[in-house]
Amino acid sequence: MAVPKSKISNSKRGMRRSTHALKQPSYVEDKDSGELRRPHHIDLKTGMYRGKQILEPKETV
């Protein structure tokens, strides 16, 4: 059976668990269209990423 070599203090345990909390996703305003999108993601409406056309733009119906 595995036994820890030393006790983990409440502080160290809390520091480890601090990253477990859910955080709100961040959004940035697109320079061209002005719409909100996730950073480092393709804008799905225009298909642009970093000034280059990656995907064909979606057609609005």
Query: Is pTM beyond 0.75 here?
Result: no
- DSSP run (H or E) holding 13: helix 10-17
What per-residue confidence (pLDDT) applies to 11?
Answer: 97
Residue 61's pLDDT is what?
59
SS3 state of residue 52: strand
Phi, psi of 9, rounded to the nearest 5 degrees: -70, 160
pLDDT digits (tens, 9 = 90+) for 1-58: 889 899 999 999 999 999 999 888 899 998 877 889 899 998 888 888 888 899 888 6
Please state, in angstroms and rounded to a whole number, the distance separating the CA atoms of residues 13 and 28: 33
Q: What is the DSSP letter of 38?
A: -
